[in-house]
């Protein structure tokens, strides 16, 4: 619940009473949204981020669902020029669960080790054997399909089917397939031209790329994950569906010919085994004053050591980890921004003019109270 600001004088003492009225509310609206959320019991919580990330040619967008500094998935664009081998220039947009794959310098177009996670940055690595994408209503358990492009409201949870097929032996067939792609102009051509494969060694999936034909429309990629290996399972042991967490990534294809677009947000359900709906939003991590956006006011609250709402890193204590959550989500709900991760002993940036604005707003409130007191 929210605790609303109010003030009253005891009428038993013969003094008039007063409360926040519309005029004071306008002062509050002009300065900041002030509230305090009390968590009365532990429950499932949806965390979301609404920052827009552009994904251009050979670009990428990182998805960090729990804001711990470890990328959980990456939406990655690759362009491969096959003209020297007599082929075309091909573009594809794919979902990755580690940073070993891609066409950028230092990356591998044809990765074979899928056990790696993204850089952990001091956290526990995700158990990537269970990092997978949703395939909606496959005809059989052995069906191989590209990721589904969900409409808003589609269910993502333990009752759905998930897969991640990218490698040299799809379904133990000894055939190569790279079906973690949202848009795929390649269809095995790069493997044939650059990786020594023959056309009959390329696996044929049961469907075609599902994000084709939806230019400038938002579609949702459903994902399943074992964040920070929380299930405790390790290969060859696999967690059960109720030990894993589920989330969505909103994607808008803005140029289908180039397979480029935007990640328009993402969200996940914090309780393992609990389904989430595509596009469902909830608490925004880093929104420490619970006003629906992550901005400088949340930084000010964190820096002052105040009580932080929507805290995900170290609940009950304001720490550097909480700052990093704020930094990662800064701009969510408003115009996107950026920041730099802090370590122990790092200098914290001053909030500058926005702090001055907040102080000015509080001064207006104080002046209003003084006038009311004098008039009474």
pLDDT of residue 318: 86
pLDDT of residue 325: 81
Q: Which residues contact 106 (CB under 8 A, 6 or more apart)?
A: none
Helix (H) or strand (E) holding 282: none
pLDDT of residue 326: 87
Question: Does the pTM exceed 0.75?
Answer: no
The domain ranges of the chain are: 11-44+286-375, 46-277
**Range 80-85, long-range pairs (CB < 8 A, 24+ positions):** 80/109, 80/186, 80/190, 80/194, 82/189, 82/190, 82/193, 82/194, 85/193, 85/194
pLDDT of residue 247: 97
Where do runs of H (alpha helix) occur along the chain? 22-31, 189-194, 296-304, 320-329, 353-375
pLDDT of residue 20: 39
pLDDT of residue 371: 52
Distance CA 321, CA 317 (A): 10
With a cut of 70, which residues of the chain have pLDDT below it?
Answer: 1-44, 100-107, 111-114, 235-236, 312, 332-376
pLDDT of residue 235: 65
């Amino acid at each position: 619940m929210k605790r609303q600001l109010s003030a009253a004088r005891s009428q038993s003492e013969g003094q008039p009473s007063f409360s926040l009225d519309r005029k004071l509310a306008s002062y509050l609206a002009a300065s900041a949204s002030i509230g305090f959320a009390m968590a009365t019991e532990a429950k499932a919580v949806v965390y979301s981020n609404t920052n827009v990330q552009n994904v251009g040619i050979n670009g990428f967008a990182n998805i960090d669902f729990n804001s711990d500094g470890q990328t959980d998935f990456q939406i990655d664009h690759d362009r491969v020029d096959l003209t020297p081998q007599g082929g075309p220039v091909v573009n594809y947009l794919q979902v990755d669960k580690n940073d070993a794959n891609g066409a950028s310098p230092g990356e591998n177009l044809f990765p074979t080790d899928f056990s790696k996670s993204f850089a952990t940055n001091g956290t526990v690595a995700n158990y990537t054997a269970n990092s997978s994408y949703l395939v909606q209503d496959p005809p059989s358990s052995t069906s191989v399909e590209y990721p589904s492009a969900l409409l808003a409201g589609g269910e993502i949870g333990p009752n759905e089917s998930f897969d991640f097929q990218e490698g040299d032996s799809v379904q133990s067939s000894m055939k190569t397939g790279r079906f973690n792609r949202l848009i795929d102009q390649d269809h095995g051509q790069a493997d044939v031209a650059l990786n020594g494969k023959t056309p009959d060694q390329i696996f044929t999936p049961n469907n075609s790329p599902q994000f084709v034909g939806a230019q400038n429309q938002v579609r949702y990629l459903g994902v399943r994950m074992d964040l920070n290996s929380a299930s405790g399972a390790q290969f060859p042991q696999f967690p059960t569906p109720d030990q894993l967490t589920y989330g969505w990534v909103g994607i808008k294809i803005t140029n289908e010919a180039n397979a480029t677009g935007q990640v328009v947000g993402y969200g996940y359900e914090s309780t393992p085994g609990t389904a989430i709906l595509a596009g469902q939003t909830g608490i925004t991590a880093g929104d420490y004053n619970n006003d629906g956006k992550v901005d400088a006011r949340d930084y000010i609250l964190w820096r002052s050591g105040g009580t932080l709402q929507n805290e995900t890193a170290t609940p009950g204590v304001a720490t550097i980890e909480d700052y990093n959550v704020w930094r990662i989500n800064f701009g969510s709900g408003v115009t996107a921004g950026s920041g730099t991760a802090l370590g122990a002993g790092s200098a914290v940036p001053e909030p500058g003019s926005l702090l001055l604005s907040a102080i000015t707003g509080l001064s207006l409130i104080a002046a209003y109270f003084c006038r009311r007191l004098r008039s009474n």
